[in-house]
Structure 1
Amino acid sequence: MPDTRLWPLSLAAATTVTALGAGIAPLRRALHAREGGLRPSAFPGGPEDIWVGQVPEVEAVELPPELAGFACRNNRLAEMALRSDGFAEAVSVAAARHGPDRVAVVLGTSTAGIEETEQAYRQRDAAGALPASFNYAGSHDLQSLPAYVRARLGLRGPAFAISTACTSGARSMLEAAALIASGVADAVVAGGVDSLCRLTLHGFTALELLSRGGPTRPCAADRDGISIGEAAGLVLLMRPEDGPPGAPLLLGAGASSDGHHMSSPHPEGLGAVSAMRAALAAAGLTPGEVDYVNLHGTGTRANDAMEDRAVHHLFGDGTPCSSTKGWTGHALGASGAVEAVIAMLCLEDGLVPGCLGVSMPDPEFRSAVATANAVRLLRRVASNSFGFGGSNCCLVIGRAA
């Protein structure tokens, strides 16, 4: 009989790549030093007067020759993550233990390899045909990401993509839990990868959602928008008894879809509250048992105000909360996964990272927004992700009791 428990799950291994560098170490250093990774955009063909979280040297990353058909910016980010923090080696150990057909891959992304198609489009011939070397399935297609990671790791379990806008990286972990609980897999590589592309940068410009002339400042009274980032965040999930002793746990997760508007959140955060409540229920916790909330906190007027109302409704004004997108930018489909790794770091280091570049939060906010780093004992962290179309997700990460 399969073990049908959804929760908890062991976060047996984790890695991340952000504008701060490859691996968890530069992210940890930057959080403590309060040094962000956002810079004025020099992305070719992108809008002017914006800041982005661009990963250094991603263009130079070479994929294994036998997997060259997967070459694109997004899969290069994934490759950087696989090479960091001993992640590929940890998956290899899991595959040796359970069998490569028992290790699944579930990864979130919003744009996948669209940047590769953008390059191909500029190389059309006189008749308008794309170059013969362009491989849509290997690069642009959403399935390219999980297919590449599965092939790169030598796995044979199920592999599929999740694309639920900015909740994709977090939502992948709910799907991973279902695969393990149903007996389909014994371990799952989950998370998200999203890369910079002109479509995203110009699209958010057209929506008038980008911060202009400086980095995003979530929760500030004068916040004016998002800074787009690119990133990869990967975790290896398995049953607690199969994971390393003392590894952090994914205690529970919750999701909802309020379908309020194509690009604007429900003003009262009803879907956000529903997702957070579901996550707490899955973890068997009350709001008072959460020690810190990592906000979705994009830096737009509407999103931050909605989330403040939702968090205050559930947690009141006694639980510290903050957004870490001032460090990484908003990595869209990867953001939930990257911030799950940040939640793990906060637990390990007892760190509440105050919103970067914000001297005081919006005076209209009622939740306990932190603007300076604080050290305190953390046992459980809730991490929020909200996306276009009313997609909402919350993860609760903590220590073993």
Structure 2
Amino acid sequence: MNRVVVTGMGVVSPIGNDIREFTEGLRSKRCGIAPIESFDASEFKANLAAEVRGIDLSEVIGKKEARRMDRFTQLAVVAAEEAVKDSGFMGVYDPFDVSVLITSGIGGLHTMEENMEKYLEKGPGRVSPFFIPMNIVNMAAGEISMRFNAMGSSYAPVSACASGTHSIGEGFRAIKHGYAKAAIVGGTEGSISPMAIAGFSNMKALNETDDVLKASIPFDQDRAGFIMGEGAGVLILESLDGALLRGATIYGEVVGYGSTSDAYHITAPHPEAKGAQMAMKKALEEAEITPDQVGYINAHGTSTPMNDRLESMAIVSLFGKEVPVSSTKSMTGHLLGAAGAVESIVSLLSMREGYLPPTVNTVNIDPEIEANIIIGEGLLANASYVLSNSLGFGGHNATLLFKKWEGK
């Protein structure tokens, strides 16, 4: 079996458009939530979101190429450019030994809406010939594989809000078992659009407050739904032997991955949180460590009443009440299919920086939440193992376990 390490990272997010800015955003407790600017949301029940600002994606990608990509693909390509450059692994491996697992929970919703409007107003002849390739979820992986000549297995595991975590986990397994020597993995989402906001709002999933400071407050007794976010997180995975041979910088080691299903409901989590607990347990078992060795958990923590309570239940049942827990969705909003990838980057940075970020703006922990939630200020801590959870509609649970790299 091969050991698997992270040698490159790239991010585009509501709190920073590269790893340096993102790290500063976490440290400064930056909240990326604000009134929606990408369309007029004044008549919508929910009008706050966590949008990516301050970057011209077409300038980074190239204007011609950008016009043929939906926003979710643009975000993924920009994050991948940073990760690949950061890693420096291009040209080291045979192209057929490099896999790409980049996913999205929703895909090209902007393209879908724009072309549906054209169809309804002007007829089928006005639908773009690029509509299908721009819309389909696998296209971010396809574009990245072409951009970097990665000719190994390339696909997009789709599991709603667990998608990014599943992509990293499956890339980890591919390298561990020898099906690849390196992999470009992660998740992306660019679905802050009228249909998405209307749909999530009408199913009572979004917080409809106008107060930015009370919008995304995971584990707080006043939480009332999540806030839509957008962005992308991309990681470069390699076998440890390959990384050491070329003298790569190593951010951390992937040591465990757990994946389960609730088999219970299309949106609600299992009332006993069995699936979430088992996903964490499987990750620990693969790493052959005990719960007391985990120094921090980056929770899924969506700021919805049921999710937060049941995730806390699952954590406490396995780890007890001491391990520090936080949800960085309090800063980034919920990035859906990109959430697990961006939060994996948070997990790796927390070990590298020795800093555990707080759950920003959460003030009054719900009495039913027994987990040790970090609020107020972040914690300075030397965590050797960090765990990241993702839970998706449809009952999909995924957990990643990372180990601090200490040169051995």
Mark yes or no: TM-score above 0.5: yes
- Give the aligned partner of residue 201 of structure 2: 205
Question: Structure 1 residue 66: deviation in Å?
Answer: 7.2
Question: Structure 1 residue 30: deviation in Å?
Answer: 1.6
Question: In 2, Cα distance between the equivalents of 1:209 and 1:160?
Answer: 29
Question: In 1, Cα distance between the equivalents of 2:153 and 2:46?
Answer: 43
SS in 2 for 1:169: helix
Q: How high is the sequence identity, in percent, across the aligned residues?
A: 28
1:175-324 superposed matches below 5 A: 175-196=170-191, 197-213=193-209, 214=211, 215-243=215-243, 244=248, 246-324=250-328
Kindly tell me: are residues 292 and 202 of structure 1, through their superposed partners in 2, closer, same or farther at Cα, counting changes over 3 Å?
same
Kindly tell me: are residues 130 and 336 of structure 1, through their superposed partners in 2, closer, same or farther at Cα, counting changes over 3 Å?
farther
Match of 1:53 among 50, 55, 59: 50
Question: In 2, Cα distance between the equivalents of 1:240 and 1:233?
Answer: 21
AA aligned to 2:169 is L
CA contact (8 A) 2:58 2:66 kept: no
CA contact (8 A) 1:211 1:225 kept: yes
Match of 1:159 among 154, 159, 174: 154
Kindly tell me: are residues 134 and 38 of structure 1, through their superposed partners in 2, closer, same or farther at Cα, counting changes over 3 Å?
farther
- Give the aligned partner of residue 89 of structure 1: 85
Question: Structure 1 residue 48: deviation in Å?
Answer: 4.5
CA contact (8 A) 1:385 1:394 kept: yes
Cα deviation 1:156-199 (Å, max 9, x = unaligned): 22211111011100001221123223433210000100112333
Question: In 2, Cα distance between the equivalents of 1:10 and 1:103?
Answer: 14
- Give the aligned partner of residue 331 of structure 1: 335
Question: In 1, Cα distance between the equivalents of 2:175 and 2:205?
Answer: 38
CA contact (8 A) 1:170 1:336 kept: yes
Question: Structure 1 residue 393: deviation in Å?
Answer: 0.6
Question: In 1, Cα distance between the equivalents of 2:118 and 2:26?
Answer: 41
SS in 1 for 2:124: coil
Question: Structure 1 residue 125: deviation in Å?
Answer: 6.6
Alignment root-mean-square deviation, CA: 1.9
Kindly tell me: are residues 25 and 65 of structure 1, through their superposed partners in 2, closer, same or farther at Cα, counting changes over 3 Å?
closer
- Deviates most, 130-139 or 230-239: 130-139
CA contact (8 A) 2:17 2:55 kept: no
Question: Structure 1 residue 313: deviation in Å?
Answer: 0.4
AA aligned to 1:384 is N
SS in 2 for 1:21: coil
SS in 2 for 1:220: coil
Question: In 2, Cα distance between the equivalents of 1:14 and 1:25?
Answer: 11
SS in 1 for 2:135: coil
CA contact (8 A) 2:302 2:329 kept: yes
CA contact (8 A) 2:46 2:201 kept: no
Count of residue correspondences: 393
- Deviates most, 44-53 or 218-227: 44-53
1:141-160 superposed matches below 5 A: 141-160=136-155
Question: Structure 1 residue 138: deviation in Å?
Answer: 2.2
Q: Does 1:139 align with 2:143?
A: no
Question: Structure 1 residue 59: deviation in Å?
Answer: 6.3
Question: In 1, Cα distance between the equivalents of 2:120 and 2:320?
Answer: 60
Question: Structure 1 residue 15: deviation in Å?
Answer: 1.1
- Deviates most, 23-32 or 378-387: 23-32
CA contact (8 A) 1:252 1:396 kept: yes
SS in 2 for 1:208: coil
- Deviates most, 239-248 or 145-154: 239-248
SS in 2 for 1:174: helix
Match of 1:384 among 385, 389, 402: 389
Kindly tell me: are residues 126 and 350 of structure 1, through their superposed partners in 2, closer, same or farther at Cα, counting changes over 3 Å?
closer
Kindly tell me: are residues 399 and 126 of structure 1, through their superposed partners in 2, closer, same or farther at Cα, counting changes over 3 Å?
closer
- Give the aligned partner of residue 340 of structure 1: 344
- Give the aligned partner of residue 78 of structure 1: 76
SS in 2 for 1:138: helix
SS in 1 for 2:278: helix
Cα deviation 1:223-282 (Å, max 9, x = unaligned): 001001001000011111222254311111111011211001112210000000000011
Kindly tell me: are residues 124 and 22 of structure 1, through their superposed partners in 2, closer, same or farther at Cα, counting changes over 3 Å?
same
Question: Structure 1 residue 65: deviation in Å?
Answer: 6.6
CA contact (8 A) 1:114 1:140 kept: yes
Question: Structure 1 residue 53: deviation in Å?
Answer: 0.9
CA contact (8 A) 2:57 2:66 kept: no
AA aligned to 1:322 is S
AA aligned to 2:225 is G
Question: In 1, Cα distance between the equivalents of 2:57 and 2:92?
Answer: 34
AA aligned to 2:36 is S
